[in-house]
């Protein structure tokens, strides 16, 4: 019984990984992930320069959801590239803001040549918390232009993935896949948080986070149906491998994502709540479901979702 997988050319011993943003910003957090059972270490989304992010409180969670407006606090791309040397136990995927890549697309060649310990890149096309900036992948023209630039100036031998926002309309799935299918993208991460949601604190009759008057990206259990739908749409419409993300907190959540076509899953809100013990717990729960169903590997059920008729 094995949970090994290959996502866009990246070999993982365990298909359960951390989601970018959760406990992956500072050195001690990255080392903790290296020593945990996560299948890969994925970094906080990085920008050119260090950012402190938005004012606090900027994160809240309960049993149903998380809401955040972190504002991209990170130590700058160079920090995450240099940290590659410390991640010895598993693949290391550096997340980079799509806006930074738009400004300096040749960065990818630089990273490939200078930092061979970096296993892959996840380009974040969907941060909802930057004041005055759109989510790139909702602006199809800008999305296409950035990808054109990337593949014009780099040979892209390093595996490249895109972190996508959730789509809700069939026309938008079609438009996004038409663009994605023009480029040799290795993997997609579906989905980032649902942008600009709001949580209301009933007792105080107020918002619960400070930035943007309480608007923030929503994750956690309530977004799973949207994550599953997006995973299945892109699984059927593209050739990219897929990291399912959004509301994974148990082995059955992971099983559902893989059934919808994911080759692995990312855990974010639950990682913040539980710490890195979540990886071995979810791994064991998924294996138990596979034993009960007589499955030996992910390929036995990956993408094999039944449609009732």
Minimum Å gap between C-beta 16 and ligand DHB is 20
Q: How many whole angstroms separate alpha carbon 283 and alpha carbon 13?
A: 11
Residue indicated by tokens 């969670």 = 61
Residue 91: phi and psi, rounded to 5, are: -60, 150
Rounded (5°) CA angle 235-284-186: 25
Quick count: other Cβ atoms within 10 Å of Cβ 217? 24
Q: How many whole angstroms separate alpha carbon 296 and alpha carbon 259?
A: 14
- Contacting ligand DHB within 187-206 (CB under 6 A): 192-193
Residue nearest to ligand DHB (CB): 70
Catalytic: 284? no
Dihedral sign, Cα of residue 192, residue 194, residue 198, residue 201: negative
Three-state SS for 147? helix
Angle between helices 277-292 and 251-259 (to 10 degrees): 60
Residue with Cβ nearer ligand DHB (127 or 259): 127
Query: Considering only residues 8, 39, 71, 220, which one is a binding residue for ligand DHB as defined by CB under 6 A?
Result: 71
Query: Considering only residues 10, 23, 72, 290, which one is a binding residue for ligand DHB as defined by CB under 6 A?
Result: 72
* Segment lying near ligand DHB (by CB under 6 A), choices 64-72, 167-175, 176-184, 282-290: 64-72
Is residue 166 involved in binding ligand DHB (CB under 6 A)?
no
Minimum Å gap between C-beta 24 and ligand DHB is 11
Looking at residue 100, what DSSP letter applies?
H
Is residue 158 involved in binding ligand DHB (CB under 6 A)?
no
Q: Which of 17, 127, 190, 245 is catalytic?
A: 127
* Segment lying near ligand DHB (by CB under 6 A), choices 122-130, 167-175, 201-209, 230-238: 122-130
Q: How many residues bind ligand DHB (CB under 6 A)?
A: 16
Q: What element of type H or E holds 256?
A: helix 251-259
Binding site for ligand DHB (CB under 6 A): 21, 45, 53, 68-72, 124, 126-129, 192-193, 217
Report the catalytic residues: 127
């Amino acid at each position: 019984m094995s949970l090994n997988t290959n996502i866009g050319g990246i070999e993982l011993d365990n298909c359960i990984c951390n989601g970018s943003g959760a406990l992956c910003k500072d050195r001690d957090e990255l080392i903790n992930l290296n020593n945990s059972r996560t299948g890969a270490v994925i970094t906080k989304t990085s920008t050119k320069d260090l950012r402190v992010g938005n004012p606090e409180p900027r994160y809240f969670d309960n049993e149903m959801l998380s809401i955040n407006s972190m504002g991209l606090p990170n130590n700058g791309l160079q920090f995450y590239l240099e940290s590659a040397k410390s991640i010895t136990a598993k693949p290391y995927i550096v997340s980079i803001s799509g806006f930074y890549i738009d400004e300096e697309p040749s960065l990818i060649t630089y990273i490939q040549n200078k930092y061979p310990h970096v296993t892959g890149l996840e380009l974040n096309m969907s941060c909802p918390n930057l004041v005055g900036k759109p989510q790139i992948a909702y602006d199809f023209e800008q999305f296409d232009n950035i990808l054109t630039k990337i593949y014009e100036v780099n040979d892209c031998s390093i595996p490249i993935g895109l972190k996508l926002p959730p789509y809700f309309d069939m026309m938008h799935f079609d438009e996004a896949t038409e663009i994605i299918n023009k480029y040799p993208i290795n993997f997609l991460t579906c989905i980032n948080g649902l942008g600009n949601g709001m949580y209301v604190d009933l007792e105080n009759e107020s918002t619960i986070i400070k930035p943007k008057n309480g608007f923030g990206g929503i994750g956690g259990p309530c977004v799973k149906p949207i994550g599953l739908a997006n995973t299945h749409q892109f699984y059927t419409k593209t050739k990219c491998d897929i990291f399912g993300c959004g509301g994974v907190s148990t082995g059955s959540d992971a099983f559902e994502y893989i059934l919808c076509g994911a080759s692995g899953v990312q855990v974010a809100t639950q990682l913040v709540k539980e710490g890195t013990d979540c990886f071995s717990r979810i791994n064991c729960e998924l294996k138990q479901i596979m034993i009960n169903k007589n499955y030996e590997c992910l390929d036995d059920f990956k993408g094999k979702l039944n449609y009732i008729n």
